[in-house]
């Protein structure tokens, strides 16, 4: 199987903006500083919709189903990929496939981000709202324990996945 290093974007509209806006929207932390410890997922390429669905159910309201994403495969950069299980993700697959890309300096992050932005049209790996809903319905229909538990914890999502 082919693997994919996926960065789930904070805003799917970040794919359409100039570099500085992209950099600030996607690669700054909550403290307003460049995030030199980036959250990404190392996944199997055929798990793209699954990863997006597990991400949105874990962190977002149903009104935000569509998620942008970028392939980080073959990105140049001086970073250390470090396994970092994402404790707040409700699903084992995505939680255990989470890593951090740790950059030593902001300048290295910026150079890496410039490459991403230049190649954004070739790197897009998004999941539509329809794909997320279909995946969630299929998992609930199969009585997948993690999905049942997630939807019990997040009843808005349970209503969203109802046929």
pTM check: above 0.85: yes
CA angle 1, 60, 30 (to 5 degrees): 95
CB 163 within 8 A of CB 106: no
Indicate the domain borders of the chain. Answer: 3-128
In whole angstroms, what is the distance from residue 70 CA to residue 125 CA?
5
Here the tokens at position 57 are 């159910």
- For the chain, 163 residues long, give each residue's pLDDT as a single digit of tens: 588 999 998 887 888 899 999 999 999 998 999 999 999 999 999 999 999 999 999 998 887 777 789 999 988 778 888 889 889 999 999 999 999 999 999 999 999 999 999 998 899 998 888 999 999 999 999 999 999 999 999 999 999 988 7
- Cα torsion for 3, 146, 54, 48, to the nearest 10°? 30
């Amino acid at each position: 199987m082919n693997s994919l290093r996926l960065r789930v974007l904070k805003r799917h509209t970040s794919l359409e903006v100039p570099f500085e806006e992209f950099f600030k929207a996607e690669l700054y932390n909550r403290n307003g500083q460049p995030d030199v410890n980036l959250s990404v997922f190392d996944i199997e390429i055929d798990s793209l919709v699954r990863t997006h669905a597990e991400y949105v159910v874990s962190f977002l309201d149903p009104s935000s189903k569509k998620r942008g994403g970028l392939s980080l495969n073959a990105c140049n950069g001086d970073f250390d990929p470090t396994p970092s299980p994402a404790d707040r993700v409700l699903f084992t697959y995505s939680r255990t496939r989470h890593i951090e890309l740790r950059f030593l300096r902001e300048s290295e992050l910026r150079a890496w981000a410039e490459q991403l932005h230049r190649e954004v049209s070739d790197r897009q790996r998004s999941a539509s709202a329809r794909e997320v809903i279909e995946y969630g319905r299929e998992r609930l229909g199969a009585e997948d324990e993690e999905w049942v538990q997630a939807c019990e914890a997040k009843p808005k999502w349970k209503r969203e996945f109802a046929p």
